[in-house]
Amino acid sequence: MRFSNFLFPDSPSPAEDGRVIDETLQEAVLTDRLGFDTIWLAEHHFDGICAYVDPVSFAAALAVATKRARIGFAVAQMALHHPIRMAEQVALIDHISKGRLIVGLGRGTAYNIYDYQGFGIDHTEAQARFEEAEAIMLAAWKGGPLHHQGRFFNLRLPALRPGTYTKPHPYVIRAAATEHGMQEIARRGQPFMMNVQSNETTSERMQLYRRTLHGLGMDDAAVAGLVDQCWVWRNVFVAETDTEAERIGVPAFVSMHERRVEMRNRVYREQGESILPMPPAGATPPPHATVQHALVCGSPATVTEKLAAIQTTGVGGLIIQFRLGPMSYEQTASSLTMFRDKVMPALAAARPPVIAA
């Protein structure tokens, strides 16, 4: 199982944005030096949930600041991007990074309506925009003239310059937040990235993913190859003892989600509009917002034991968010380093049998 760091830094106020961005760059350099496989970047706007805001711009900075780790979007909200501009930017970063870029794409947020409003995009068109924009990017990366007339974009260009460093184009992967979305990606014969889910749901979806691929006529080797390219996301905090880890990690995780919920509630109070129906007061929070299912917290031995359950699914990579909400850079760096020194070797040594479909 490959291990990665998801840089998703929360900034508490506009005055703190610059400091958090600087610290996030430090965290990326440390992640690269520690030998993690990939550095993932998010995209959220206008609320401080993700301090650097734009994964494309920040990826260009990381392409220069780091040497070995791959750099991935988890994800770029494709509904908010012009496909030719995005194709150019990706091609440039692909050259600067010498092929280390992973182009993780998604429709766009299912929660923050202000992301769409700020760019003048109707959120109900997000999936259709995503599909058309992705097709245009892939066509542009082939080289040569491009003429496209579609629902959202009418384009004519002689050729994309520069062409991509990676041939035929940088690695592209989609994210799926729902079981239905995962199956749609599986029916395309492609790998996917899964958002935070309970271990039970993660295992069930990976088994369903295998069954769907087998249903396409793929043999065991082809299925195993695609499973190895899939990623799942967890929030992790490691300290010397369980008590110390829980003292720091649990309040940081809870604060992170409370701030996100309050922002959405405030926008809804002001506008009376949301993407998904607002949950009633007192409703049980979803698994991705609960300590029980979404936070792996403890000593190296405890974290190893908890992550071993994910390793048994056979999934190829773990997307780990180490910095949680108001957590300091120093606390994050300590957790990140301890994970590399003590958890990664223990999981590599364990290598339990994979749960088959």
pLDDT in tens, 183-224: 999 999 999 999 999 999 999 999 999 999 999 999 999 999
The pLDDT value recorded for residue 188 is 96
- pLDDT exceeds cutoff 80 at 106: yes
Mean pLDDT of 70-95: 98
Percent of the chain predicted with pLDDT > 90: 90
Mean pLDDT of 276-280: 89
**Residue range of the domain that includes 266:** 2-350
The pLDDT value recorded for residue 264 is 87
Whether 357 is covered by a domain: the verdict is: no
Question: In sequence order, what are the beta bridge partners of 232?
Answer: 194, 318
- Give every CB contact of residue 67 below 8 A, 6+ residues apart in sequence: 32
Percent of the chain predicted with pLDDT > 70: 98
Q: How many alpha carbons fall within 13 Å on the CB side of residue 79?
A: 22
The pLDDT value recorded for residue 174 is 97
Mean pLDDT of 296-309: 97
Secondary structure (DSSP) of 296-311: EEESHHHHHHHHHHHH
- pLDDT exceeds cutoff 60 at 270: yes
Q: How far apart are CA 55 and CA 44, in angstroms?
A: 9
Whether 64 is covered by a domain: the verdict is: yes
Whether 324 is covered by a domain: the verdict is: yes
Whether 150 is covered by a domain: the verdict is: yes
Q: How far apart are CA 282 and CA 294, in angstroms?
A: 19
The pLDDT value recorded for residue 280 is 86
- pLDDT exceeds cutoff 70 at 348: yes
- pLDDT exceeds cutoff 80 at 101: yes
Question: What tokens appear for 355 in the block?
Answer: 């749960």
Whether 355 is covered by a domain: the verdict is: no
Nearest CA to 247 out of 236, 239, 235, 256 is that of 239
pLDDT band, residue 287 (cuts 50/70/90): confident
Q: How far apart are CA 75 and CA 53, in angstroms?
A: 12
The pLDDT value recorded for residue 354 is 61
For 85-100, write each residue's pLDDT tens digit: 999 999 999 999 999 9
Q: How far apart are CA 220 and CA 316, in angstroms?
A: 15
Residue 304 belongs to a domain with what CATH number? Answer: 3.20.20.30
> Residue 73 region, left (φ>0) first, then alpha (ψ -120 to 50), else beta?
beta
Q: How far apart are CA 221 and CA 274, in angstroms?
A: 44
The rounded mean pLDDT for the chain is 95
pLDDT band, residue 352 (cuts 50/70/90): low
- pLDDT exceeds cutoff 80 at 234: yes
What total number of domains does the chain contain?
1
For Cα atoms 153, 156, 161, give the angle at the middle one, nearest 5 degrees. Answer: 110
Whether 356 is covered by a domain: the verdict is: no
The pLDDT value recorded for residue 345 is 97
For 155-167, write each residue's pLDDT tens digit: 999 999 999 999 9
Question: In sequence order, what are the beta bridge partners of 155?
Answer: 148
The pLDDT value recorded for residue 172 is 98
CA distances 38 to 103, 173, 284, 310, 332, Å, are: 12, 14, 33, 18, 17
The pLDDT value recorded for residue 288 is 84
The pLDDT value recorded for residue 284 is 86
